[in-house]
Structure 1
């Protein structure tokens, strides 16, 4: 365990260790956070245990992947902005490169029968993986009746009434903040100490961070606007994923359904099955699961390449997506990290986070049901009954192969406690074996 004799590593060592973590960061945020704790708190004693946990709480308050933001905070604490940039970037770059290579392969091989069979297995296994995430997050987040009610309300708003995802997040944030300020016990919040007047208020540092990283965030969008215009697919990609970066509370699973529905039915960039394929690919790569956005950006640009060739357009789409997804993460950390002590003591802010976390359970339940319908059935119709919009599958289009693979994957995960990579491998093999069967 970390003690008071902390080590301050040179920048070169921070770079080396950050690269190692980036290549080994499999297993989702829980595994990534545990890996960083072992490497940086327990073994190297670069960060105090209490500071690590407080920073993790801050990252939960911010939109974006909390593990990547935690890596950025650690780098910032050790070597300022330079350390934050290198630690945060190296957490993302290995997975981004792997995801880009897989996206290129997918785009060129998607019409091959064996490739489709392979991903039949992968997308079926994704159903079991999402259910596992749903149960894990629900067990951690739903401690009180009001939290359970918020989860049910979020699910109903999304699945039955097709409510906009950002509106659901903002409503949960506002309700949670109000309850946290008035009755924190209803959200199982622990009372925090008073906000000390003696703590510094680093407005200047935060303002510089917002201006600098806001400019970095916007730079590629300015280039797209000047050289390609608002009608180009790259502009749509940049605007959509920039908006997504602001509302990505509660982890990648929370926004996947919203992203999938917009990308599939709103923009027509890819199909629901391809969205499930992308999630399966993201599960197999190091780094944050939100890297699935790169897959969507690649396919969107690949299929509307003018004036570029498809490969170049796809790479530009993937790079732009990754840029506007992760540049805001650096902005949040560099702007808010100096305020960490104060933020930890605001009951309304803690309540807002608890409200969003509870709503995220309903959001992921919506994602699980949406993916299940589109993976298990070839045809799903939207039927409006007054304000309610139901997703109704055509039972004749039921795919028994996907259902069988999903059941096997669920047994491997829940009964035999297999890991994600191993389970996806078995599911992919089953997809190849069953792919030729109607």
Structure 2
């Protein structure tokens, strides 16, 4: 009964997040931290940081994989699958309905005013998570220096995974040499499963080809979900299976639906093969993440116990927080373009940093409502 109770709790928490988690991976991870660490205390903030660092090193959507890690932490292997499916389902369901409307009527509903309110509110949510995680990650001046390096590298355009790896290797090597201890060796490591599947052997687009195409993309996708669109351009637009205009519409869907941006696969799959195409694309894009997390999970405690890998993990953790900070800076420049967005950000920051008891879900709802209401003002 206790196990079933935990599974139900995991399902409800991540279904709620799946319905309201707007703003991309950094925002999702920030909302998750508030739910599972601050409010429910399923794990320590240090362990949550370890999960972020490790997740950044495997292919797949980071925030979706974090839900799986958190579900596993609370309710074991069943919790891993319940958390992942609960988080993914709302986005896939909403995207599927939008795909049907798009294919049937050629139009999408107007949601821009709400998104204009959600985006600035999300800035405050990300800032809150960076503040809390940063206090744990910045253990000394050396880690602070590594974080600054990764922040600058991310802002000048170096790929986030490359910046994370460099930060982890440099930091891990430095702290190992500093400790002057040769007792620990690299006895523990985690495997990387990269199944490169070629779908070109199929002569026409069908359900199986859709599945294999998106399985391939899900298996090699590194970094944030937004990298997905570059892969899809190469796999579908360049091969003539999808028009560039349709891909741009799919990008729009990914921007204003909650949950993982990879639910865009559902939209594209419906365009390519109807209902079964959308199911095949969704299964293909997310299946590798479940496998990667299932393989990685047992190794994270071993990494922390190993001195060498512990140093590496500390360095990757601070690098991951720095990447979130870079995302925040980039999003702020793009989002804070008028007085409305500035006001919404200030209100959201007051609710999060000073009122504190307000849930981040309510911050998103308040931001969306303000975004809609402020559009009626004539100035």
Tell me the TM-score normalised to structure 2 length. 0.70
Larger radius of gyration: 1
Q: Give the Å deviation of 1:331.
A: 1.6
- Please, which moves more after superposition, 99-108 or 316-325? 99-108
**Hey, what does 1:158 align to over in structure 2?**
154
**Hey, what does 1:24 align to over in structure 2?**
13
* 2:335–2:341 Cα contact (<8 Å) kept: yes
- The number of equivalent residue pairs is 333
Task: Determine if the alignment matches structure 1 residue 434 to structure 2 residue 379.
Answer: no
SS in 2 for 1:183: helix
Q: Output one character per residue of 1:21-76: Cα deviation in whole Å (capped at 9) or x when no partner.
A: 221345504532577766xxxxxxxxxx9xx9998787566326456335436766
Task: Determine if the alignment matches structure 1 residue 323 to structure 2 residue 312.
Answer: no
**Do the aligned partners of residues 89 and 301 (structure 1) sit closer, same or farther apart at CA in structure 2, a change above 3 Å counting?**
same
Q: Output one character per residue of 1:388-432: Cα deviation in whole Å (capped at 9) or x when no partner.
A: xxxxxxxxxx44433332232222222322221111111111122
Task: Determine if the alignment matches structure 1 residue 100 to structure 2 residue 92.
Answer: yes
**Hey, what does 1:179 align to over in structure 2?**
174
**Hey, what does 1:243 align to over in structure 2?**
220
Q: Output one character per residue of 1:79-100: Cα deviation in whole Å (capped at 9) or x when no partner.
A: xxxxx2x231112222222222
* 1:142–1:358 Cα contact (<8 Å) kept: yes
From 289, 308, 316, give the equivalent of 1:356. 316
Q: Give the Å deviation of 1:16.
A: 5.1
Partners in 2 of 1:293 and 1:57 — Cα distance? 22
Q: Give the Å deviation of 1:14.
A: 2.8
Task: Determine if the alignment matches structure 1 residue 401 to structure 2 residue 340.
Answer: yes
Q: Output one character per residue of 1:298-341: Cα deviation in whole Å (capped at 9) or x when no partner.
A: 34545xx33x13x554443333222122221012235x37xx5x
Task: Determine if the alignment matches structure 1 residue 116 to structure 2 residue 76.
Answer: no
**Do the aligned partners of residues 101 and 352 (structure 1) sit closer, same or farther apart at CA in structure 2, a change above 3 Å counting?**
same
Q: Output one character per residue of 1:175-220: Cα deviation in whole Å (capped at 9) or x when no partner.
A: 12202312259xxxxx9x9669xxxx999xx9xxx7xx96xx85xx
User: What residue ranges of structure 1 are gaps of 5+ in the alignment?
Assistant: 1-11, 39-48, 77-83, 186-190, 248-254, 283-291, 377-397
Partners in 1 of 2:109 and 2:130 — Cα distance? 33
**Hey, what does 1:68 align to over in structure 2?**
68
Task: Determine if the alignment matches structure 1 residue 89 to structure 2 residue 81.
Answer: yes
SS in 2 for 1:111: coil
For the aligned residue pairs, the C-alpha RMSD in angstroms reads 4.2
SS in 2 for 1:62: helix
* 1:123–1:276 Cα contact (<8 Å) kept: no
Alignment of 1:292-311 (within 5 A): 292-302=260-270, 305-306=271-272, 308-309=273-274
SS in 1 for 2:314: helix
Partners in 2 of 1:370 and 1:112 — Cα distance? 27
Q: Give the Å deviation of 1:433.
A: 1.4
Alignment of 1:224-239 (within 5 A): 227=202, 237-239=214-216
Partners in 2 of 1:159 and 1:37 — Cα distance? 33
* 1:241–1:325 Cα contact (<8 Å) kept: yes
Partners in 2 of 1:264 and 1:436 — Cα distance? 37
* 1:122–1:424 Cα contact (<8 Å) kept: yes
Alignment of 1:6-85 (within 5 A): 14-15=3-4, 17-25=6-14, 26=17, 27-29=31-33, 31-33=35-37, 59=51, 62-63=54-55, 65-66=65-66, 68-69=68-69, 71-72=71-72, 84=77
Partners in 2 of 1:314 and 1:195 — Cα distance? 48
**Do the aligned partners of residues 430 and 61 (structure 1) sit closer, same or farther apart at CA in structure 2, a change above 3 Å counting?**
closer
* 2:198–2:216 Cα contact (<8 Å) kept: no
Tell me the TM-score normalised to structure 1 length. 0.62
* 1:264–1:270 Cα contact (<8 Å) kept: no
Task: Determine if the alignment matches structure 1 residue 374 to structure 2 residue 351.
Answer: no
Partners in 2 of 1:140 and 1:23 — Cα distance? 28
Partners in 1 of 2:150 and 2:205 — Cα distance? 33
Task: Determine if the alignment matches structure 1 residue 263 to structure 2 residue 242.
Answer: no
* 1:241–1:324 Cα contact (<8 Å) kept: yes
**Do the aligned partners of residues 69 and 158 (structure 1) sit closer, same or farther apart at CA in structure 2, a change above 3 Å counting?**
same
